[in-house]
Structure 1
Amino acid sequence: MLKEIKQSASKTARMDHLSVLPVFFKLEGRQVVVAGCGDAAAWKAELLLAAGAEVHLLTGGKALSQAFAAIAGHERLSVFEDGWRDADWTSLTLALLETESDGEAAAFAARASAAGVPVNVIDRPDYCSFQFGSIVNRSPVVVGISTDGAAPILGQAIRRRIETLLPKALSQWAELAMRIRRTVGDVLSPGNERRAFWEHFVDRTFSAPQGPDGDDERNLVGQARRLANATGQGSVTLVGAGPGDPELLTLKAVRALQAADIILFDDLISAEILELARREAKRMLVGKRGGRASCRQEDINRMMLNFARDGKRVVRLKSGDPSVFGRSGEEIASLEDAGIKVSVIPGITAASALAAGTTTSLTHRDCAQSVRFVTGHSKKGVLPDNVDWRALADPTTTTMFYMGGRTADQIGTRLMAEGLSPHTPVLIASNISRRDERRWHGTLARLPEGMAEIGYDNPVLFGVGGVFARASARSMPTSLSPPVTVNPDIASCG
């Protein structure tokens, strides 16, 4: 007798609750019965025929709807005038019914259950043991979407979004994968080697605008043989996670997360973004925040090197863009000096996200001929002493100050001392693109007041320049202060 072993669900569960289990039926040459004559039955019969089923259509003596004209005469469609009660259920793989009657639906479901046949009573989920979802067809790649019958329109909307993400040539690449799968399995060992090859295959699939050509099969098999003879050294990818909203990640960033063995992430990375990573990937917080206990950069560099030398594919996940105040230069230099392969995937930097969120053009041609990204503090945490403040005081420049919350009053004082008008519009924002984003609109003279209202607990970015006049002059639900009066000449910008 089997002995049941009970463990704490909190310790063993690796996936949230599923309302349904997505499974896929192999129906090639299998017998399926469809009882009904309406449009819904016709659509389901067409799906079943597309999947290779032998469909027995039971009309019960009723006339077929016009929708059946699309599949009339199909070689695997057999039409019988019998009703489902007279059918032979012994060899069925699935059973479907279209009916308006609760009594008939219940009886059909009971008959299917007694025969051990999965059943679907169309549009009546209470009588179904399986359901049809929205389908994205790139056979042999098939994507099914279920809302558990709650919102079919939502399922269709999700399908449309997925359709735009999957290249039309995906089916050709999937067929190629089937042809070379055995060869790759013979050449490469299970684990990192095979995963590395198939990640390369995926990158090739999604980067090619067309299907594979005659050389791709030979080149991919050659790639597998080269991987088999290569050393076990891994790689590091610096990935920009953007300002916080997971929908602002690039597709390439998502693919890197799903290919990673190790993810070293900043403490500004949201849980929603980490959920996009491969479940087996090890996640390690290496956050660095000004004024708080943090990992040293030297320790982060050493971790990346050690993991890569162990053959791991490492993702260094950074908020914003790695190349914009992300200290990527130090990390790249450390890795390249050690001979580790390193690549960078850009992300949306906070300034771009703030501009988009406020519908502001940072280089509006009426008032800004350039835009500058400036750090608000030096390595010592004080105002930088090597910045050309006179150049930053140019009224035709938009300046975005990163990490300048605690030096904002000094920045405002320096800019006004160099001649920038105290009426110059300013936009401050914290937690950009997140649900708890906060904004303050005002003038340069009131910059310290705005920082006091926004606070210093969360990442802050502020922009100075005439392009923010339009944002300053209008009242927004996220604004912490009322609209302010700005210089009329500047207010015409943006």
Structure 2
Amino acid sequence: MPESQRKLSVFPAFHKVAGRPVVVVGGGEEAAAKIRLIAETKAEIVVYAESLDKETGADLIAAHGEWRGRAPAAGDFDGAALVFAATGSEASDAQVRALAKQAGVPVNVVDRPELCDFFTPALVNRAPLAVAIGSEGVAPVLSRHVRARIEGLLAPAFGDLAGLADRLRERVTRSLATVTDRRRFWARFFSGRVAENVFAGRMYEAEGEALRMLEIEPNLAGHVSLVGAGPGAEDLLTLRAQRTLQEADVIVYDRLVPEAVVAQGRRDARRVLVGKAKGHHSFSQDAINALLVTEAKSGNRVVRLKSGDPLIYGRAGEEMAALRAAGVSFDIVPGITAAFAAAAETEIPLTLRNASSSLVFATGHDADGNTLPDWAGLALGGVTVAVYMGRSVAGKVATRLVEAGLKGSTPVAVIENASRADRTAYAGRLDELGVLAARPELTGPVLIIIGDVVAEGALDAAPAPLAALAA
């Protein structure tokens, strides 16, 4: 689905219900489900029904709710926060809806999304933290499946962590003058040693660590994280990369990083595109280095977001040298490099006993744009070679390898846009690589895998033979 169509027809929000009546009309199974949901809040539960099922009555007693053994009448909903129509009868539910509209109270009609003012989410309760999962009423079973996954991710202690944050909030506001300082403190609070102590049940130690952080926070300088964005698919972004993006004040990213990955950062983070393509540099490397240093020295937490892994053809070495020289602290968050994604999609084992015990990452160009022959001899020994940025010089690479003694029939795979929805893949022979240079429509990053292991892959995963590009 295009990004422009991924828009909700509802606006997610949380209703304040503490100490206010929430009304359920109905005495059957549907009503019982709503009573159990509302019982997770501090609302006053009121049920209207001429009779209650045994289960519904038990749930209402457990929730300390009130039963009124009749149908609702005009004025009964005045002052209520919400109304649920769960009678099981379309006519009765319609009457309940009319009374709610008359009282100006939002109403949910069970199994009738077109009559609902709001939808009930699948709820993950880690009070005061809550996660609500909704599907606009069209796929409640899917919402429950998602809820089950999130339940496993969020330990019950997350509520204790949120409670500690609530107790410290006023003190943090008094101690830290700026929004940036407070945001940075909370980022470290929720992902560092404070959280670790809470999850281990050491609340006293957690609070002590939080107070210690509060004393040193105003003196913290900026920081740069060199983060690998992976090959493109947003679900291949690591958990550490996601967390680091959420903590960033500034995101400096390359042209090859998809918008969906950049969007993993905070909405209010400043974004700077420093896109570079072959022969077209909107920012020179020196300018990027200077930008990172300037932003960090201004006290910002900066994420330098790079396609793939920052240490593999990502010029991270130059940026680290510049940061060290300027006295700026930094860390590196590794990412999944394109060779791994490409091999996984085409089921090519990059190493294989009795075929290839070594793997070489190579690039089609050196710093001056010349084709590199240095690794040609390695391929002769059965080493698998993954060539990055090699489309325009694929023919020269193949010629040098053949001249070095590698057979022209050596299997190769060519993958463009590894891991992305627009991925294309081709399988063929080394002596067919020359056709790539004449195919400018291959505008995405191209990864070439050379070696006998290619023959072990799922060749049916490649939609066309490499020779077909010559047509």
Normalised TM-score (structure 1)? 0.87
Question: Residue by residue, what CA displacement relative to the aligned partner does 1:364-401 show, whole Å, maximum 9, x if unpaired?
Answer: 2242211111122111111125x243223212x21111
Which residue in the other structure is 1:4 paired with?
none
Find out whether 1:36 has 2:26 as its counterpart: yes
Judge which range, 239-248 or 203-212, deviates more: 203-212
Instruction: Look up the equivalent residue of 1:479 and give its one-letter code.
Output: A
Which residue in the other structure is 2:379 paired with?
392
> Any conservation in 2 of the 1:140–1:171 contact (CA below 8 Å)?
yes
Looking at structure 1, the residues matched to 155 and 18 of structure 2 have their Cα atoms a distance apart, in angstroms, of 26
Looking at structure 1, the residues matched to 451 and 198 of structure 2 have their Cα atoms a distance apart, in angstroms, of 41
Looking at structure 1, the residues matched to 344 and 99 of structure 2 have their Cα atoms a distance apart, in angstroms, of 58
Which residue in the other structure is 1:56 paired with?
46
Sort the Cα spacing of 1:126 and 1:458 in 2 relative to 1 into closer, same or farther, 3 A. closer
Which residue in the other structure is 2:424 paired with?
438
Secondary structure of the equivalent of 1:50? coil
Which residue in the other structure is 2:464 paired with?
479
Structure 2 matches for 1:248-327, cutoff 5 A?
248-327=236-315
Structure 2 matches for 1:208-219, cutoff 5 A?
210-211=199-200, 213=202, 214-219=204-209
Using the TM superposition, give the Cα deviation of residue 59 of structure 1 relative to its aligned residue in structure 2, in angstroms. 2.0
Looking at structure 1, the residues matched to 132 and 284 of structure 2 have their Cα atoms a distance apart, in angstroms, of 45
Looking at structure 1, the residues matched to 292 and 365 of structure 2 have their Cα atoms a distance apart, in angstroms, of 27
Judge which range, 95-104 or 335-344, deviates more: 95-104
Judge which range, 263-272 or 171-180, deviates more: 171-180
Secondary structure of the equivalent of 1:347? coil
Give ranges in structure 2 of 5+ residues lacking alignment: none
Looking at structure 2, the residues matched to 407 and 342 of structure 1 have their Cα atoms a distance apart, in angstroms, of 35
Using the TM superposition, give the Cα deviation of residue 463 of structure 1 relative to its aligned residue in structure 2, in angstroms. 0.6
Looking at structure 2, the residues matched to 282 and 381 of structure 1 have their Cα atoms a distance apart, in angstroms, of 33
Looking at structure 1, the residues matched to 349 and 157 of structure 2 have their Cα atoms a distance apart, in angstroms, of 37
> Any conservation in 1 of the 2:390–2:447 contact (CA below 8 Å)?
yes
> Any conservation in 2 of the 1:269–1:319 contact (CA below 8 Å)?
yes
Using the TM superposition, give the Cα deviation of residue 482 of structure 1 relative to its aligned residue in structure 2, in angstroms. 7.5
Which residue in the other structure is 1:22 paired with?
12
Which residue in the other structure is 1:98 paired with?
86
Aligned length: 462
Which residue in the other structure is 2:231 paired with?
243
Looking at structure 2, the residues matched to 481 and 468 of structure 1 have their Cα atoms a distance apart, in angstroms, of 13
Find out whether 1:409 has 2:395 as its counterpart: yes
Sort the Cα spacing of 1:28 and 1:72 in 2 relative to 1 into closer, same or farther, 3 A. same
CA RMSD of aligned residues (A): 2.4
Judge which range, 26-35 or 139-148, deviates more: 26-35
Looking at structure 2, the residues matched to 182 and 289 of structure 1 have their Cα atoms a distance apart, in angstroms, of 48
Using the TM superposition, give the Cα deviation of residue 54 of structure 1 relative to its aligned residue in structure 2, in angstroms. 2.0
Of 342, 346, 357, the match for 2:334:
346
Using the TM superposition, give the Cα deviation of residue 168 of structure 1 relative to its aligned residue in structure 2, in angstroms. 4.2
Using the TM superposition, give the Cα deviation of residue 325 of structure 1 relative to its aligned residue in structure 2, in angstroms. 0.9
Which residue in the other structure is 2:96 paired with?
108
Normalised TM-score (structure 2)? 0.91
Which residue in the other structure is 2:325 paired with?
337
Secondary structure of the equivalent of 1:24? coil
Which residue in the other structure is 1:378 paired with?
366
Judge which range, 351-360 or 321-330, deviates more: 351-360
Using the TM superposition, give the Cα deviation of residue 16 of structure 1 relative to its aligned residue in structure 2, in angstroms. 8.3
Structure 2 matches for 1:3-152, cutoff 5 A?
18-60=8-50, 62-64=51-53, 66-68=54-56, 71=59, 73-74=61-62, 76-85=64-73, 88-152=76-140
Judge which range, 313-322 or 398-407, deviates more: 398-407
Which residue in the other structure is 2:347 paired with?
359
Using the TM superposition, give the Cα deviation of residue 476 of structure 1 relative to its aligned residue in structure 2, in angstroms. 3.3
Sort the Cα spacing of 1:481 and 1:279 in 2 relative to 1 into closer, same or farther, 3 A. same
> Any conservation in 2 of the 1:242–1:248 contact (CA below 8 Å)?
yes
Looking at structure 1, the residues matched to 199 and 140 of structure 2 have their Cα atoms a distance apart, in angstroms, of 32
Of 408, 427, 430, the match for 1:422:
408
> Any conservation in 1 of the 2:238–2:335 contact (CA below 8 Å)?
yes
Judge which range, 202-211 or 147-156, deviates more: 202-211
Query: Hey, which bits of structure 1, 4+ residues long, moved more than 6 A?
Result: 205-209
Identity, in percent, stands at 37
Give ranges in structure 1 of 5+ residues lacking alignment: 1-14, 484-494
Instruction: Look up the equivalent residue of 2:404 and give its one-letter code.
Output: E
